[in-house]
Amino acid sequence: MENRSYAAAGVVLAGIALAAAALPWDAVGVGPVENALLAAFGAAAFGAFALRRHGLVERAPGALAAGVASLAVVGTATATSGALAGDASSLGVTLALVGGVGGVIAAYGDGKGLPSRASEGLRAFFRSLAIGLSGLFAIAVWTTIVVSVYAAVAPGEVTQVHSVAIGALALGLGTGTVALAYFRLTDKGLSYLDLRWPTLADLGWTVAGILGLLGLQVLLGILFQQLGISSAQHSVEQAARSGDPTILLWLIPAAWLIIGPGEELLYRNIIQKSLYDTFSKRSAVVVGSVVFAIAHFPAYYSPNLGATLLTLGVVFGLSLILGATYLRTGNIVVPTLIHGAFDAITFAALYFQITGGVPGA
């Protein structure tokens, strides 16, 4: 029987590209209505992959059509990204590029075939990437819902502080929604959660993880400074430096209560753990960290692509530490505490750096 798993993956990836075309990119001529070109190429890739998935066209012409359309998605996203204005646009860039690049790879796998081991690994990677990107999409949807509710009950301008608070709440709701959907679709119950009260050994790994993350950040900062290399700023840091730094104070408790728990639930307990079935556990930490870094592209997007990629490399390194502590302890509470503490310390340090520790400065 002909293997059409790559065509099935291509359907999902082309759907991601179509979702990107439906998002506002905050640029002239690029948006939910104007971006017809990206939508057309995404629809063409989706159609070609769907036909291949159901065996309605032959392997060679179907894979070729899907690959060309996916490549056109990449070209369109790359060409239009230079016109972007504002960080909100970066989600559309991420989805379009991932859908397009992933579609090209899926089309090649469908047309040429790959060794069974490589094929299995790529399918697992794309499945994990789809879960991670669905988290981004769920966060975007929840952001829209929360903003609409807020506007209805508290008319007026949405300030930066409100935007950050809404974003943090949407992150928790979005990752929680994806987790529930994952449990529902895979018939996994709450027992799949590696959630337990931390032991003394767990707390030791927590302290080691926090020190490891902070140490790596400091060492890389010094290295970049010595080499004269610039990295991209997180969208929160950009907002704090250009607007109201008090948003950082709001984010300190959010790091513990929402950001850390939400991201670790999705990227460690679901994505990394699901990769154990395909890869060795150490390899799963690496692959899961790649997915984690790609998912942070919107937060660090800047016109300087080199700086963005460099920063994502740092995020990848930090994720390796989080993934390793989860692997070592088998307790999701440990990376959650590490992640929350690291973010909280980072927000507090940035606030003192910007204001000198003066409230309201």
Residue pLDDT, tens place only, 303-342: 666 677 778 888 899 999 999 999 999 999 999 999 999 9
Which of 86, 113, 140 finishes a domain? 113
* Residue among 48, 47, 25, 52 nearest 36 (CA): 25
In the predicted structure, residue 131 carries a pLDDT above the cut 50? yes
**Residue 10 shares a structural domain with residue 48:** yes
Q: What is the pLDDT of residues 246-270, one digit of tens each?
A: 888 888 898 899 889 999 999 999 9
**Residue 220 shares a structural domain with residue 290:** yes
**Residue 138 shares a structural domain with residue 187:** yes
In the predicted structure, residue 88 carries a pLDDT above the cut 60? no
| SS percent in the chain: helix, strand, coil, step 5 | 80, 0, 20
Please state whether the predicted TM-score (pTM) of the whole model is above 0.75.
no
- DSSP code string of 276-313: TTTS-HHHHHHHHHHHHHHHTHHHH--S-HHHHHHHHH
**Residue 274 shares a structural domain with residue 340:** yes
**Residue 270 shares a structural domain with residue 310:** yes
**Residue 127 shares a structural domain with residue 203:** yes
In the predicted structure, residue 288 carries a pLDDT above the cut 90? yes
**Residue 293 shares a structural domain with residue 357:** yes
**Residue 108 shares a structural domain with residue 131:** no
**Residue 149 shares a structural domain with residue 11:** no
**Residue 202 shares a structural domain with residue 285:** yes
**Residue 4 shares a structural domain with residue 105:** yes
Q: What is the pLDDT of residues 13-44, one digit of tens each?
A: 888 888 877 776 554 444 444 477 888 998 99
Which of 87, 113, 139 finishes a domain? 113
In the predicted structure, residue 161 carries a pLDDT above the cut 70? no
Which of 78, 113, 148 finishes a domain? 113
The range of the structural domain enclosing residue 300 comes to 120-361
**Residue 211 shares a structural domain with residue 310:** yes
Count of structural domains within the chain: 2
